[in-house]
Amino acid sequence: MSAWVTAKRITRYGLIGFFRNGFVSLAAILIMTITLFVMGALIVGSAALNATLEQLTEKVDVNVYFYTDAPEQGMLDLKQQLEALPEVAVVTYVSRDEALTRFRERHKNDQLTIQALDELEDNPLGASLAVRAKETHQYESISKFLEGSAAASGEGDARIIDKVNFSQNKTAIDRLSEIIKTSQNLGTTVAVILALASILIAFNTIRLAIYTSRDEIAVMRLVGAGPWYVRGPFVVSGILYGIASGLFVLMVLYPLAAWLAEPSEQFFGNFNTLTYVTDNIFMIVGAIIGTGILLGAVSSYGAVHRYLRN
């Protein structure tokens, strides 16, 4: 008998079992829907957490303030040196004029300060460099690099750095690093525990569904069915549970993401659930339906296996 004929027969009996054991199938699909929904929520939830953490990380930087008479070339050279460091993500140069414009803008409602500024003949503000590291814990080494540079500790004209604000911000940066690390670890742990718990529940539901068929399995063996002929239809039914539950979850997840789009943007700042789901639709569909198929097939395979032992 060809493999094609066997596959066709197994698939047919899998479909028959799926539809004729309607109540058992429904129960398995419901439980698997919850499992896959938890998975979907975890995917979107962890993306929201990561986006928030990324946003926080972006807000941290180290500023290098130059003397007002520092030559522009020296500052730009330092900028280049910083950009060459592997730890550095972005260096932004703020010229004296730009610093003044920003200052005026920031204090436009503070007449007294603006008047005092106008009294001065010269621009009192120095240029600065805003340095952003790839990881928050890398600020320390960047700061050390700056301290050791000729611009900070050199003699005479070579010394152009007035102040580096790392030590002032050190506690805040360390604390933020710690929070980000803990949130990521906690997020991963919670995700793994939830995923494991829901997978176990789904696995047990399928095991229970197949337990009701144990006599049927014994009869199949008695009439001379080989292990794959017995197991195959159950695995096919398990795959169908996975596909059906996956589709249910997607049908719920998409409208839910649309509904939560605005609140999520308000809460997380730069994270929109609908945009995320739409942009990553193939990954999400693949992950949810793929997990469903794998879970259904593996659970069914395992559950039937114990009844096939001689």
Partner 1 sequence: MIYFDNVSKVYSAGTPAITDITLGIEPGEFVSIVGHSGAGKTTLLKMLFAEESPTTGSVLFNERAIHELTNRELIQMRRQIGTVFQDFRLLPTKTVYENIAFAMEASGRPDEDIIADVPYVLELVDLADKMWNFPKELSGGEQQRVAIARAIVNQPDILIADEPTGNLDPINTYEVVQILKKINDLGTTVLLTTHNRNVVDSVGKRVVTLDQGRIVRDDQSGKYSF
**Contact residues: partner 1, CB under 8 A:** 1, 5, 9, 13, 16-17, 20-21, 215-216, 218-227, 229, 310
Closer residue to partner 1 (CB): 102 or 305: 305
Shortest distance, CB of residue 254 to partner 1, whole angstroms?
Answer: 35
What are the structure tokens assigned to 96, written together? 């004296």
Shortest distance, CB of residue 296 to partner 1, whole angstroms?
Answer: 18
Enumerate residues 6+ apart whose C-beta is below 8 A from 252. Answer: 37
Asked whether the beta carbons of 40 and 253 are under 8 A apart, the reply is: yes
Question: Three-state SS for 3?
Answer: helix
Shortest distance, CB of residue 300 to partner 1, whole angstroms?
Answer: 16
Closer residue to partner 1 (CB): 21 or 95: 21
- C-beta atoms surrounding 20 within 10 Å: 9
Closer residue to partner 1 (CB): 225 or 287: 225
Closer residue to partner 1 (CB): 130 or 219: 219
- Cα angle, residue 286 at apex, residues 281 and 291 outer, rounded to 5°: 135
Q: In what order do the strands lie in the sheet with 128-133?
A: 88-94, 128-133, 62-66, 161-164
Shortest distance, CB of residue 13 to partner 1, whole angstroms?
Answer: 8
Helices (H), the chain: 3-20, 22-59, 72-83, 96-106, 111-119, 139-148, 150-153, 166-211, 214-222, 227-259, 261-268, 273-279, 281-308
Shortest distance, CB of residue 241 to partner 1, whole angstroms?
Answer: 16
Shortest distance, CB of residue 220 to partner 1, whole angstroms?
Answer: 7
Closer residue to partner 1 (CB): 10 or 125: 10
**CA-CA distance, 127 to 138, in Å (whole number)?**
23
Closer residue to partner 1 (CB): 84 or 222: 222
- Cα angle, residue 12 at apex, residues 9 and 14 outer, rounded to 5°: 110
**CA-CA distance, 6 to 221, in Å (whole number)?**
16
Closer residue to partner 1 (CB): 5 or 120: 5
Residue 93: strand pairing partners: 129
Closer residue to partner 1 (CB): 189 or 212: 212
Shortest distance, CB of residue 216 to partner 1, whole angstroms?
Answer: 5
Asked whether the beta carbons of 285 and 75 are under 8 A apart, the reply is: no
Shortest distance, CB of residue 17 to partner 1, whole angstroms?
Answer: 6
Question: Three-state SS for 191?
Answer: helix
Number of residues in the chain: 310
